[in-house]
Structure 1
Amino acid sequence: METETGRLATALGRAGAGAALLSSFEDVCYATGFEVPPPIDAGAAFAFGPTLALVTADGGTTLLAPNAYAARVEEMSRADENVLVETFGHFDAVDAEHAFLAAVRSTVAALRGDVLALDRRTLPAAAAEVLEGFRTVDARPILRSARLIKTPHEIELLREAVVAADAGQEALRTLARTGRNELDVMGDVVTFVERTAGRPVPWAGELVTGPRTATLRYPGGPIDREIEPGDTVLMDLSVRNRGYWADCTNTLVAGAEPSDDQLRYFLAARAAFEAAADALRPGRRASDAFEAAAEALGQHGLEPAHYAGHGIGTAVNEEPRLVPYDHTPIEANMVFAVEPGAYAGSEGTTGARAERIVLVTESGPEVLSSFGWGMDG
């Protein structure tokens, strides 16, 4: 069975690189399965540098993580070797910078003379001193090539993440009631997501209600506002479960039947979703999906307000992106979050976005999300 490490090793070989030193959370997760925590806890504060992964062209993997993450590493990592970097001592002082650089130096020592792929966005400048003498190349196009097509294991994890996100969207339909505060609704939605996932999950997105749905100012909420009768309610929900993301958006009306205006914008967004999703077929291009969404919006007298979607995986927003200038060929086992929107603008009172996860198969698109749309028509 095709694996993530195998795809990455193949991409390294094509690029003429002997190894890649990965430093972004999404690349580390892709290579090792270790779900790097959001950098807001004590473990991140103790560490001098990011969690790293070394992947060699023969498929070997080494994870370098702060010792504060020892339990998580034991639970999640599938790397051949796990190196815990001592970055903090509760009773004796630790030189975190020295420990981090020493771990990097030791890990790459056997590779001297090889071409080493690096991510210049996220690797600390201090690492340059221990990598001096290496011939280096940009790791980003190598990782892009590997991560574009999802493996069966990745698709399984993406399906699991979608189930958790679906639970949040289904919960919104009963939680977004007249008189409830946006902050309370969002908190309750996350509870449903985490109970479905069976664990705490990082999440992102927005919950906006009323006239704020008429314009795009992401993230526009939640804020301290009570939902009023007849308000449009729009929730864009992204959740990460076991290292992989789901991203979905629904639009509904609280405490009343949709007005003609609300229905117009929602049906336009939904039609644009359906058109863009249908364009995600092997042999087409990412830009074709954008053009399909734009044509559908045009049939409702509207123009695109933003892109029609993006790839998704260990990052919530990956390439290819469904924009008019991205002509990446669509291939089977790509996965996209398709999310066109339609908005009345600053002079209006409503808007809508329709977003679900779509898997490209040999025979066409498969919509993985199963939550019900917020309006019918």
Structure 2
Amino acid sequence: MYTAKFLPEIELRKTKLQNAMKNTEADAMLISSNTNLFYTSGRIFSGYTYIPVEGEILFFVRRPVDLKGDNVIYIHKPEDISSIMHERGINMPQKLLLEDDVLTYNERVRLATIFTNATFDNSSQIIRNVRAIKTPYEIELIRESAAKHASMYHRIPAEYKDGMSDTEFSIELERLARLHGSLGIVRIFGSSMEIYMGSLLSGDNADTPSPYDFALGGAGLNSSLPIGCNGAMIRPGTTVMVDIGGNFTGYMSDLSRVFSLGEIPELAQNAHHVALQIQDAIIEKGKPGVPVAELYELALNTAKQAGLEEYFMGHRQHAGFIGHGVGIELNEKPVLAPRSKEILEENMVFALEPKFVIPHVGAVGIENTLLVTKTGIEKITHCPEEIIPLD
């Protein structure tokens, strides 16, 4: 299933999940989502990860057919699990945790016919809390992703050609990301959240509300995916905000930068400067033990003091957060929001994105990926932060 080199990492993750499980009085958890299968095994497969509160992980695999390992057990259907556990003398759980936030009703009903004597509870938030604290191995993968992400962003201005639409520019940047090793897919938690490789927002399209819980919206190219570029020409006097996701290693980094065509109004320039001030203030204040709600309030108050509140985190529609955790998924914990009860902890990784939308100009602001260290905040995405001219 995984190499001997990766075994200590799997053991560490297993221990973290088992420790979290002990607070629930559960006997085991059963995992079936791609994200958490990857977290618990180091790869994607069709099947289940079974983690008892004590003992070894079992991987019940349907596909692919070439996986090997002492704990890899092939099944034809989920119902095989109960007979295999009986044959191996493994006690069936009395309380089993399932990923209820992502499990379909039919899947849950089917599992209830397999674990007939068990009561069920939700493991989704337990796993998300565990995944919020990254291991050293995960941090290295995020650093690698961040470095490739930043390298790609350095080359963005060279991809612009006079007369481009936002879609044409976005296509070139998506190609650039793939040439730098992007895996293409951006994993997001939540059934109502979807995006392609990221978004590019130019001019008034940055002010278009979206149904998705992203910082900014955009009309998109079709009502079936209303997010990002809409095919409009990039015009003088407007900005282009590039927010292409950075999945280069299976672990995400997040990065936004602003470009401009021609002169942009002083209001937009000032708002961008305030966004950089917010970033610096949060990096200075952030450290283990700080409530994330305080960081949100710091950002909002800075925007208010600058007289820019109506443009902060959107104009026609405002996002209710200024940052979010990143890892295997783009929107992990913590969420930097006003009512969040979360506290910064060492080895959390999050994207900070104070942004403003100026009508008829576009979006300005910044987004970087940050690591919470023992003593403070480390920025791990590095490329120019000023507004960069395309002409």
In structure 1, stretches of 5+ residues that fail to align are 37-49, 86-98
Shift of 1:338: 0.7
> What corresponds to 2:52 in structure 1?
56
C-alpha contact 1:312 1:335 (8 A) present in aligned 2 = yes
Shift of 1:354: 1.2
Shift of 1:146: 1.6
TM-score, with normalisation over the residues of structure 1?
0.81
1:8 aligns with 2:17: yes
What letter matches 2:361 in structure 1? Answer: T
1:302 aligns with 2:308: yes
User: Pick from 168, 183, 193: which aligns with 2:167?
Assistant: 183
C-alpha contact 1:273 1:338 (8 A) present in aligned 2 = yes
Shift of 1:205: 1.9
Change (3 A) 1:165 1:84: farther
What letter matches 1:327 in structure 2? Answer: K
C-alpha contact 2:183 2:249 (8 A) present in aligned 1 = no
Change (3 A) 1:226 1:6: same
> What corresponds to 1:284 in structure 2?
290
1:230 aligns with 2:226: no
After alignment, is 104-113 or 230-239 more displaced?
A: 104-113
RMSD: 2.6
Query: How do 1:47-196 and structure 2 match up within 5 A?
Result: 51-58=47-54, 60-67=56-63, 69-70=64-65, 81-83=71-73, 99-106=76-83, 110-123=90-103, 124-125=107-108, 126-196=110-180
- C-alpha distance in structure 2 between counterparts of 1:371 and 1:70, whole Å: 43
> What corresponds to 2:214 in structure 1?
none
Q: How many residues are matched?
A: 340
SS of alignment partner, residue 21 of structure 1: strand
- C-alpha distance in structure 2 between counterparts of 1:59 and 1:271, whole Å: 50
User: Pick from 331, 338, 343: which aligns with 2:357?
Assistant: 343
Change (3 A) 1:66 1:279: farther
- C-alpha distance in structure 1 between counterparts of 2:18 and 2:277, whole Å: 40
> What corresponds to 2:257 in structure 1?
250
Shift of 1:30: 1.6
**Structure 1 residues 295-318: Cα deviation after superposition (integer angstroms, max 9, x where no partner):** 221232122432110111121101
Change (3 A) 1:337 1:229: same
Change (3 A) 1:115 1:297: same
> What corresponds to 2:192 in structure 1?
none
What letter matches 1:368 in structure 2? Answer: I
> What corresponds to 1:320 in structure 2?
334
C-alpha contact 2:174 2:244 (8 A) present in aligned 1 = no
> What corresponds to 2:39 in structure 1?
30
User: Pick from 330, 337, 343: which aligns with 1:329?
Assistant: 343
What letter matches 1:122 in structure 2? Answer: V
- C-alpha distance in structure 1 between counterparts of 2:99 and 2:14, whole Å: 17
- C-alpha distance in structure 1 between counterparts of 2:117 and 2:306, whole Å: 59
C-alpha contact 1:268 1:342 (8 A) present in aligned 2 = no
What letter matches 1:55 in structure 2? Answer: I
C-alpha contact 1:178 1:229 (8 A) present in aligned 2 = no
> What corresponds to 1:43 in structure 2?
none
SS of alignment partner, residue 307 of structure 2: coil
Change (3 A) 1:131 1:334: same
**Structure 1 residues 2-54: Cα deviation after superposition (integer angstroms, max 9, x where no partner):** 72222112212232222211123222222111147xxxxxxxxxxxxx64322
- C-alpha distance in structure 1 between counterparts of 2:245 and 2:366, whole Å: 14
What letter matches 2:20 in structure 1? Answer: A
Seq. identity, %? 23
Change (3 A) 1:116 1:283: same
Change (3 A) 1:287 1:115: same
- C-alpha distance in structure 2 between counterparts of 1:320 and 1:165, whole Å: 22
In structure 2, stretches of 5+ residues that fail to align are 1-7, 187-196, 211-216, 219-226, 314-318
Change (3 A) 1:246 1:185: same
- C-alpha distance in structure 2 between counterparts of 1:366 and 1:325, whole Å: 25
1:261 aligns with 2:270: no
- C-alpha distance in structure 1 between counterparts of 2:53 and 2:296, whole Å: 36
> What corresponds to 1:353 in structure 2?
365
Shift of 1:365: 0.3
Change (3 A) 1:51 1:233: farther
User: Pick from 355, 366, 371: which aligns with 2:378?
Assistant: 366
TM-score, with normalisation over the residues of structure 2?
0.78
What letter matches 1:136 in structure 2? Answer: F
SS of alignment partner, residue 364 of structure 2: strand
SS of alignment partner, residue 15 of structure 1: coil
**Structure 1 residues 207-227: Cα deviation after superposition (integer angstroms, max 9, x where no partner):** 111222245532542232332
SS of alignment partner, residue 232 of structure 2: coil
